Amino acid sequence: MKKISIKTMFSAALSLVVVAGILSLFVAVNGSEMEPPTTEVITPIDVVIDNSALDQWQMVKENEGYTLYANLKKAAIRLENKTDGSVWNSSPDGYDSNVDIKGASKVSLGSLLNFTYADRDSNTTSQNSIAGCVNDGNLNARLIEKGVRFDFYFEKEGFLIPLELTLTAQGLRASVPIADIQEQSSAMKLTTITLLPNFGAGSVAEEGYLFVPDESGMLIPFEKGDANYSERVYGDDLSIVSKTSTTLTGKALLPVFGVKKQKQAMLAIITQGDARAKINADVASSKSPYCTISTEFIYRESISVDVSQKTFEFTQVNMFESQSCQLDAFTVEYRPVEQPDMSAWQTTIVPT
C-alpha cells in the first residue's frame, strides 16, 4: 500500500484551507463576491425579432460632418467623412470574396460584436454576432434618434446583447447599454464583450499601422507586425491574482488606440467602462491578411484558483463574479483624423 507522509497530508490540507479562504473572501472591485455555481435559474429573454429588413445599405443618419450607413439585415455599418471623403467600414472591403480566407476566420471578420461566456463547468467560449445571431435569423435592428440599434439574440448561448451606433460631431459612438443585457440561465455567465472588432481593419497590402497606448505609445505596422497585443487599460486589477501573461509586457496607460491607413487615420477613445477595458490588437496571420484593433470590456471579473484533488494533484478552476458589471454602459468613440492642410506651411523662396 502506498504511504503518504504527514508532511504531504499537511501540505494538501493547507492548500484546501487556502483555496477555501480565497473562495469565501475574494471580493471584486464592485464588491461582488465570487461564488461557485448554485441551483440554475432560467429567466426567459424578452426579445422581438424582425427579419423584414432588406439586404442592402441605407443611410440611417447624417450631421454636418459625417454620414452613417447600415445594412440592417447583415448588421454592418459604414461611416463616411464628408470633409475628406474617407470611409470607415465595420468589416474589411472584399473580405467575403477573398478565397484565401476560410471558415470561421471569414465569418468572424463580418462581426460587429464578439463576446465570451462561461458554462456550467466554468469553461470559457467565444462567439461572434454573425455565427451566433445573424446567420440564425435572430437579429433585431431598428433606427434610433441618432443612429441605429442592433439587438443580438444568441439563442443557443442564451444571451441578448444590445449595441447602439450613433453619430457625434466628431464621428461615431459605439455603446452597449448594460441594463439591457439579458441572460437566460444563471449557470451560463457572460464574461466579456468586444465592440466593433473589425472596424477600420487594415490589410498587409496597405501602408499603415495600428497605434496602441503601450506606456509612451507603440506603432504596429500592417506589413511587419509580428506579435499580437492585449493589455488592460491602466494595468491589472490589483485585487485579482492573474496567472496569465500577454505577449507584450508594457502597460496601457491611456484609454485610447488608433489606426492609420494610407492617407486616413482614426483615433478611438474609451469613454465609459475604461477601468474594465482591454485593448486588443491582432496582426495578420496565415488565416487572415488583416490587422485589427478593438476594445474588450470585462462584464464579469474572474480569478483562476488551484483546487486539490483526491490524488493530491491540483487543477485550475475559474471563478466569476456572481453579479455583473454595474456601470451604465460600455462606450467607445471613434474619431476620424483629417489630414492637415500643409499649404499654410509652404514658404515662397525669393532670390536675393
Q: Distances from the Cα of 273 to the Cαs of 13, 176, 199, in angstroms?
A: 40, 10, 19
Q: Is residue 122 very low, low, confident or very high in pLDDT (cuts 50, 70, 90)? A: confident
Handedness of CA 28, 127, 149, 45 (dihedral sign): negative
Domain residue limits, the chain: 6-339
Residue bearing cell 496582426: 283
Q: Does 344 or 253 have the greater pLDDT score?
A: 253
Residue 33 has a pLDDT of 52
Q: Is 71 left (phi over 0), alpha (psi -120 to 50) or beta?
A: beta
Q: Does 36 or 250 have the greater pLDDT score?
A: 250
Residue 120 has a pLDDT of 86
Q: Could you report the per-residue pLDDT of 76-97, keeping only the tens digit for each?
A: 999 999 999 999 999 999 898 8
CA pair distance 304, 191, nearest whole angstrom = 14
Q: Which of 150-159, 191-200, 333-342 has the lowest mean pLDDT?
A: 333-342
Residue 15 has a pLDDT of 41
Residue 325 has a pLDDT of 85
Tell the CATH topology of 6-339. Answer: Beta-galactosidase; Chain A, domain 5 (2.70.98)
Q: Does 304 or 246 have the greater pLDDT score?
A: 304
Q: How many residues does the chain have?
A: 352
Residue 243 has a pLDDT of 53
- The Cα angle at residue 79 between residues 170 and 218, in degrees rounded to 5: 65
| Residue 326: pLDDT over 90 | no
Three-state DSSP state, 24: helix
Cβ contact 118:188 at 8 Å = yes
CA pair distance 57, 145, nearest whole angstrom = 18
What does R_g of the chain's alpha carbons equal in angstroms? 23
Three-state DSSP state, 243: coil
Across the range 39-57, mean pLDDT stands at: 91
Q: Is residue 322 very low, low, confident or very high in pLDDT (cuts 50, 70, 90)? A: confident
Q: Is residue 61 very low, low, confident or very high in pLDDT (cuts 50, 70, 90)? A: very high
